[in-house]
Amino acid sequence: MNLKFTVQIWDKGLWYVARCPELDFVSQGSSPEEARRNLLEVIQIQFEEMSRLGTLDDYLSECGYLRANGMLTPQTEMVRLEKSALQVL
């Protein structure tokens, strides 16, 4: 099964935080690469456990994924990412 998802990596000072918004998983590491590897491991472990419990398809459906031809595709897509500023009183 192939699964498409986004990995966001944030610099949080001493740590890097990796996040998958489609699946709502987060991990961290001492480098961007380690944070990404840890996130992929978290996803793999969680999916194995959900599969064992028989809840993986329900979870993926709740996350907005559609299964077709051996591929799981999110039905939502980020179309824009921007940094903004706002003066706060």
In the chain, what are the domain boundaries?
2-74
> Are the C-beta atoms of 60 and 67 separated by less than 8 Å?
yes
The three-class DSSP label of residue 82 is coil
With a cut of 90, say whether residue 54 has pLDDT above it: yes
Q: Give the tens place of pLDDT for each residue, 21-46.
A: 999 999 999 999 999 999 999 999 99
Residue 78 confidence class, pLDDT cut points 50, 70, 90: confident
Q: What is the pLDDT of residue 37?
A: 98
> Are the C-beta atoms of 26 and 18 separated by less than 8 Å?
yes
In which residue are the tokens 């996040």 written? 19
Residue 69 confidence class, pLDDT cut points 50, 70, 90: confident
CA distance 80 to 88: 24
The more confident residue out of 89 and 55 is 55
With a cut of 90, say whether residue 53 has pLDDT above it: yes
Q: What is the pLDDT of residue 49?
A: 98
Q: What is the pLDDT of residue 16?
A: 98
Give the right CATH number for 2-74 from 2.60.40, 3.30.160, 3.40.50, 1.10.3470: 3.30.160
CA distance 41 to 75: 24
